Amino acid sequence: MGTLSPEQKKFLEKFENRVSMEKNERILYGHDIAAIPAQIRPLAGKTIPDAIVQPQTEEELVEIVQWAYSHNIPVTPRGKASSGSGGVIPLKKRTGHRFLSHAQNYNNR
């Protein structure tokens, strides 16, 4: 896994089956359906997130973002990823942390 501490992983476990730290799933969420162009790859760096969280409510989304901010963990928001190319992917960060919040069940108001 990436650079999340045991305490950080424990916090995320509260989301039960809506959080994943499994490598194969993290790889899938680290890119669009299209391949990253060779010219962009060096700029993007490692695009595999450390965790994937699927908030179900606005309150959960706010909690995740506030928690991530307080731990200096970048959040890469992602909708349903219905576009094949040009979506949001995590990019390399100086902190070394990558975190992906996938709002699959969250309804915008």
Residue-wise pLDDT for 53-80, tens only, equals: 999 899 999 999 999 999 988 888 877 6
Contacts of 62 (CB under 8 A, 6+ apart): none
Type of residue found at 88: V
Class of domain 6-102: alpha beta
Taking only the tens place, the pLDDT of each residue in 9-37 is 999 999 999 999 999 988 888 776 766 77
- How confident is the model at residue 105, as a pLDDT? 47
Query: What is the pLDDT at residue 48?
Result: 82
